[in-house]
A and B are shown apart, each in its own frame.
Chain A
Amino acid sequence: MASRHLTLGRIVLYAVLAYCVLYYLLPLTVMLFNSIKPLDDLKAGNVMSFPRSVTFAPWVKAWNTACTGVQCEGMKGYFWNSVSFVVPAVLISTLVGAFNGYVLTMWRFRGSNALFMALMLGCFIPFQSILLPMARTLGALGISQSVAGLIFVHVVYGIAFTTLFFRNYYVTLPEELVKAARIDGAGFMRIFHRIILPLSGPIIVVTVIWQFTQIWNDFLFGVVFSSGDSQPITVALNNLVNTSTGVKEYNVDMAAAVIAALPTLFVYVVAGKYFVRGLTAGAVKG
């Protein structure tokens, strides 16, 4: 039985752990603190200190009036831009992944494993290498520089990952379930939505978190395949920070950065425990 007394070893252990916690929390803390400091406070060189007075003006400015290039309408428009393509892109790519996984596990056909392997390769294609072909494709489809175009790019890019997730989850389900449903008279689609999807909770959560984080945080596709009013928040944040007219308002920059990061934080906090559960699903039977 291990001793519960506070030994020297334990003190050292806790000290190290506490240091790690502080180390990891520091960037977020500094950002949050600086986003609520008046600019004068920052100019006085108090970047690392606690706020002496608190103001939410930087947040209001970042949201409403901060300049991103020539326009000075804040982050709000771009925030909703991001929401408007991230949500459909996440939902569509998740649904397609679930469907692919269902077919690749429960309705295997000649070459289905080869197809899966080919899809897996999609996980390793670097973003940069598809920029030009994708630009041509979007042009040919008539959806370049639009929200629909961004949705298309992210769905296509995400399918490899979502298919991998769902396929690996569904191979742990007994095939007899599908056989039983077929004998009961259920068809391909009904088995999917009545039997398979209701069992997919954990893996849907994992996929949604993964896709949401990937797509929300994407910068490259956003900057290449959108322009002006349809740009995502990541591009807007970059423009806001790089706009060099007048005084550099670090507090507004920080507030804008936190605003850009809030949705992914929110998704993690709400669904994080399912994320861990889903990642290990199937690892242990029962």
Chain B
Amino acid sequence: MGALSIRKVRKSYGSTEILKGIDLEIADGEFLILVGPSGCGKSTLLSMIAGLDSITSGDIHIAGRRVNDLSPKDRDIAMVFQSYALYPSMTVRENISFGLEIRKVPVAEREAAVKRVAQILQIEHLLDRRPSQLSGGQRQRVAMGRAIARDPALFLFDEPLSNLDAKLRVEMRTEIKLLHQRLGTTIVYVTHDQIEAMTLGDKIAVMKLGEVQQFGTPREIYDNPANLFVAGFMGSPSMNFISARVDEMGSGYGLALENNGERFVFPAVNANGEMKNWLGKEIVFGIRPEQITQVGEGATNGHVVRQALKIDITEPTGPDTLVLAHVNGAKLTCRVHPSFAVAPGEKMPLQFDLSKSVYFDPATEQRIL
């Protein structure tokens, strides 16, 4: 049994169902990300793991123990909040040792724990300050210190970085990852930021409207999205979705496309048996911007094709330039090297790597495999 297992967990307030049967399981030392847009139920789920909120039905096990009816203090967890929730009237030292004090840990051990935590997080010089005298990043560290001090079986993070400015957020993200590698702790981390999800997680659960849309490793989620929502939510800039009719093409299938009046057909790479049911019908063709680049070295083959498109807008980001064209009326973002980008209105030859193309049913939005 894993460090955390969530089975058929439901939550409703009156007739409103917030969570509609969640099943998740992670192993000891894994970093689980709950990601999704606001209102998807991810924070509610975290609250229920913490025991701050009751579940309507289902089971939650932490380290093999059913915790449904245990109060937060008996669940062997620690939590870092979005607002940090440091106790304003206590010093950093008191904040960190408060939980130990309540658990009647002897003073000497408490001091040792504070010292250890302060060293790990490099906050030794802040121990006698109050939270109001700390910067945002320092408060964040203290909040993590408070969680680490008790050495719990499970850490819960509720959007811990969303109150920090962009630069600090990236720094703290790295620190959280380092901390996880160093301490080998099991973490459940809630965020709405898909970059945080990708960079930090061992496992990601993408949620929407109270349901887990997909649960898997970052790579699985990114390369093999289960549906249109997951494909569009993960990745920045997000995946291009183009409605296209499926045609026959040689021995396989092709996608009928059009740009600036010019018609062309791309092979439907990865299409399998299911595709024959879609012959002559519209599907959603998904391709990520980084798979559309300037024409490079090497010959084209079955899944690398070239096509020149009329560029409508260019967006330089520094390392890359995003160029936008319209195919079948849909916006198509391509990530090219800045020196190849052409001026808007001109045609640019582009190279498409179709090996990671994905297809979706336009009605159900589910993946066509």
Q: Taking beta carbons and an 8 Å cutoff, which residues of A are in contact with B?
A: 174, 176-177, 179-186, 190, 194-195, 198-199
Contact = CB atoms under 8 A, between A and B. Distances in A.
A182 B88 contact: no
A183 B82 contact: no
Interface in B24-80: 50, 52, 71-73, 77-79
Nearest to A196: B89
Contacts of B85: 174, 176-177, 179-180
A183 B72 contact: yes
A182 B87 contact: no
A185 B103 contact: yes
Given A179-B52, A195-B87, A199-B89, A185 B99 contact: yes
A182 B102 contact: no
Given A185-B102, A186-B102, 12 more contacts: A174-B83, A174-B85, A179-B72, A179-B85, A180-B81, A182-B52, A183-B78, A183-B99, A184-B102, A184-B146, A186-B98, A199-B88
Which 5 pairs from chain A and chain B are nearest by CB? A198-B89, A184-B99, A185-B73, A176-B85, A180-B85
Interface string B78-113: 110111011111100000001100110000000000
Contacts of A181: 87, 98
A194 B71 CA distance: 20
9 contacts: A174-B85, A179-B72, A180-B146, A181-B98, A183-B50, A183-B78, A183-B99, A184-B73, A199-B89
Contacts of A199: 88-89
A176 B102 contact: no
A285 to B, nearest CB: 12
Interface hub of A185, A186, A190 (most chain B Cβ within 10 A): A185
Nearest to A286: B132
Nearest to A190: B102
B81 A182 contact: no
Contact of A195 (B50, B78, B89, B99): B89
A185 B52 CA distance: 12
B51 to A, nearest CB: 8
Contacts, number: 57
A194 B99 CA distance: 12
A183 B73 contact: yes
Task: Report whether over half of chain A's contact residues are helix, strand or loop; otherwise say mixed.
Answer: helix
Contacts of B81: 176, 179-180
Given A190-B102, A195-B89, A182 B72 contact: yes
Contacts of A190: 102
Contacts of B77: 183
A194 B89 CA distance: 9
Contacts of A177: 85, 87-88
A190 B103 CA distance: 12
Among A174, A183, A186, A198, chain B packs the most CB atoms within 10 A around the CB of: A183
A179 B79 contact: yes
A274 to B, nearest CB: 16
A187 B293 CA distance: 59
A184 B146 CA distance: 9
Q: Looking at B77, B86, B88, B150, which has the most chain A CB atoms within 10 Å of its CB?
A: B88
B150 to A, nearest CB: 8
Contacts of B90: 198
Of residues B50, B73, B146, which shows the largest number of chain A Cβ atoms within 10 Å of its Cβ?
A: B73
Nearest to A198: B89
Contacts of A180: 79, 81, 85-87, 146
A73 B102 CA distance: 55
Contacts of A184: 73, 98-99, 102, 146, 150
Contacts of B87: 177, 180-181, 194-195
A189 to B, nearest CB: 12
Nearest to B147: A183
Contacts of B98: 181, 184, 186, 194
Interface in B142-174: 146, 150
Contact of B83 (A176, A185, A186): A176
B297 to A, nearest CB: 55
A177 B82 CA distance: 11
A244 to B, nearest CB: 57
Contacts of A183: 50, 52, 72-73, 77-79, 99
A118 B184 CA distance: 53
A195 B87 CA distance: 7
A248 to B, nearest CB: 56
A179 B78 CA distance: 11
Contacts of B73: 182-186
A179 B71 CA distance: 11
Contacts of B52: 179, 182-183
Nearest to A179: B52
Nearest to B143: A180
Nearest to B79: A183
A188 to B, nearest CB: 11
Nearest to B87: A195
Contacts of A195: 87, 89
A171 B342 CA distance: 57
A199 B88 CA distance: 7
A185 B77 CA distance: 10
B46 to A, nearest CB: 11
